[in-house]
Amino acid sequence: MIITCPACSIRYVGDPEALGASGRMVRCAKCGHSWLQLPPADMPKQVDVPAPEPQPRRPALVARPRSKGGLGGRSALALAGAAIGAALLVGFFARESIVAAWPETRQLYEMVGVRATAIGDGLELVNVTFVLRDVDGEALMTVEGEIANKTAEPQPLPALKATLRNDQNHWLSDWVFSLDETTIQPGESLRFETATKNPPKDAKRLLITFTEQ
C-alpha cells in the first residue's frame, strides 16, 4: 500500500499487514512528522470473541407433548419470522457500514442483487494537514486536504468527519462537514477546508473519514 506523509506529502510503499487491525504510529524519514496510519479499508477486520464461561449443570427437563391445536408452535414461528425480518432490514439499510467493516460481505449482497459499496468507495483523502492559530484571543484549528476520485466513473461525495485525539489516541471531539459539490468526476481532486474553535488543548492527532450525513 502507499503511505503518504500528511505534513510533507512524500510517499512510501508499506506492508499493510505491518499496521495491524487498528493501525500504528509511523514517522516520516524526510521531515520527522509522526502520525497514526490506519490499515486500508479493504483489509479484513478481526473480531475477538471471548470464550464462553462454563455453565453449571442443571437437571434434565422432561418435555411434555403439546396438543396439535395449541398456539405455542405458531407463536414460536411468528417470533422467529419477525426476528429474521428485522435482521434482513438491518442488513439492507446498514449495508454500507457492514461492507466498510467486512469487505468480504460485498459478494453476498451482489449475489442477491443488492448493490453494497463502502462509504467513499473509490475516493482517496490526500494532503491532509491541520494548523492551530490564535484569532482574536480564541484558538482556531483549520483543517485542509483534498479528495481524489481514483475511479473511471463519477462518484457521489459523502460527508466528512474530523476526529481529534490525544497522544494516547483517545477520542477528544469530532465534527461532521461537507463540500458544496455533490459529485466528483473521474480523476478529479477537490479541495476541502474546515475549522473548529477552541479545540481540546491536548489534541495532537487528527483523523478524517467519510461518513453518512
* Percent of all residues in the chain with a pLDDT value above 90, rounded to a whole number: 34
Cβ neighbours of residue 189 closer than 8 Å, sequence gap 6 or more: 126, 146, 147, 148, 149
Dist CA 45 CA 38 (whole Å):
12
Contact in structure between 211 and 131 (CB atoms under 8 Å): no
Residue 7 C-alpha cell reads as 505534513
Contact in structure between 163 and 125 (CB atoms under 8 Å): no
pLDDT tens profile 172-213: 999 999 999 999 999 999 999 999 999 998 998 999 999 886
In order of start, what are the domains of the chain with their CATH numbers? Answer: 1-40 (no CATH), 95-119 (no CATH), 122-213 (2.60.40.10)
Which residue type occupies 152?
A
pLDDT tens profile 32-46: 777 777 777 665 544
pLDDT tens profile 115-129: 556 788 889 999 999
